[in-house]
Amino acid sequence: MAIQIAALAILAAFYGVYLGKMLAQRRRGIRTDQMARGNKRGRLFWTELLLKGVTCAVALAEAACALADWNSAPTWLRWLGLGLAAAGVGVFAASVYTMRDSWRAGIPREGETELVTAGIYRFSRNPAFLGFDLTYLGLLLAFWNPLLLALSCLAAVLLHLQILQEEAFLPAAFGPAYTRYRSRVCRYLGRRRPR
C-alpha cells in the first residue's frame, strides 16, 4: 500500500507541475500547448500528435497500475523505481521553473521564447524530456507489466524524436547562440569540455 500511495503522490506532483505551469501561462495569455497545432505538417505534425496521445495513455496506465498495484517486480526494485521517478519529477520541475515563460509543449510557432541556458539547462539541453524519461522509467520499475513497458518504451522513442525535431528548429530560431550552447551541453546530461 505504501508503494501505491508514493506512486500516486509522484504522479500528482509530476502532472501537477505540468498542468499548473500550463494554467499559469494561460492566465498570462501564453499558449503553452503547441503540440500538433498550427500549420505543422509531415513528420513534425505526426510526431507531436502521437506524442500527445501516447503521453496521455502513459499517464492513464501509470495511474491505473498504481491504483490496481499491477506489477511483477520485487519490492526493492519497486522502491528503487519510485526513487528514480521522484528524481524525474525534480528534474522536470527544475526545468519548467528555469524555463519561466519560454516553456512550451511542442515546437512553438507563435509567441516569443528565449534561449534558456542557465540553471539545470547548464547540464542538459533537454531536462524536461529527461524528467519525463526518468519518471516513466521509475514508474515502470515500480509497476513492471507488459502494458506499461510497451507504452513507456513508445513514449521514450517519441520523446527522443521530438527532441530531434526541436534540434532542427532551434538553430534557425536562436542562431549562433544555440550552436555554441549545443557545443557545450549534451542532449540529455553532461557538459562537453572546450576543445
- How do residues 2-20 score in pLDDT, each as one tens digit? 999 999 999 999 999 999 9
Total structural domains within the chain: 1
Q: What is the pLDDT of residue 109?
A: 67
Q: What is the pLDDT of residue 104?
A: 84
Residue 191 reports pLDDT greater than 90? no
Q: Would residue 192 count as lying in a domain?
A: no
Which residue in the block uniquely carries the three cell numbers 529527461? 130
Q: Would residue 59 count as lying in a domain?
A: yes
Q: What is the pLDDT of residue 89?
A: 99
Query: pLDDT tens for residues 166-189?
Result: 999 899 889 999 999 999 999 999
The neighbouring-strand residues paired with 191 are 185
Q: 58, 152 in Cβ contact below 8 A?
A: yes
Residue 35 reports pLDDT greater than 80? no
Q: Would residue 105 count as lying in a domain?
A: yes
Residue 31 reports pLDDT greater than 90? no
SS3 labels along the chain? CHHHHHHHHHHHHHHHHHHHHHHHHHHCCCCCECCCCCCCCHHHHHHHHHHHHHHHHHHHHHHHHHHHCCCCCCHHHHHHHHHHHHHHHHHHHHHHHHHHHHCCECCCCCCCCCCCCCHHHHCCCCHHHHHHHHHHHHHHHHCCCHHHHHHHHHHHHHHHHHHHHHHHHHHHHHCHHHHHHHHHECCCCCECCCC
Q: Distance of alpha carbon 89 from its chain centroid, rounded?
A: 9
Q: Would residue 195 count as lying in a domain?
A: no
For the domain that residue 44 is a member of, what is the CATH number?
A: 1.20.120.1630
Q: Would residue 12 count as lying in a domain?
A: yes
Distance CA 42, CA 72 (A): 39
Q: Would residue 193 count as lying in a domain?
A: no
Q: What is the pLDDT of residue 111?
A: 60
pTM over cut 0.85 = yes
Q: Would residue 191 count as lying in a domain?
A: no
Domain with 33 in it: 2-184
Q: Would residue 74 count as lying in a domain?
A: yes
Query: pLDDT tens for residues 106-163?
Result: 877 666 789 999 999 999 999 999 999 999 999 999 999 999 999 999 999 999 999 9
Query: If you average pLDDT over residues 24-33, what whole number do you get?
Result: 87
pLDDT band at 195 (very low <50, low <70, confident <90, very high): low
Query: pLDDT tens for residues 49-89?
Result: 999 999 999 999 999 999 999 988 999 999 999 999 999 99
**What percent of the chain is modeled with pLDDT above 90?**
76
Query: pLDDT tens for residues 86-120?
Result: 999 999 999 999 999 888 888 776 667 899 999 99
Q: What is the pLDDT of residue 110?
A: 60
- Kindly tell me the burial class for residue 47, based on how many C-beta atoms sit within 10 Å of its own C-beta (0-12, 13-18, 19 or more): buried
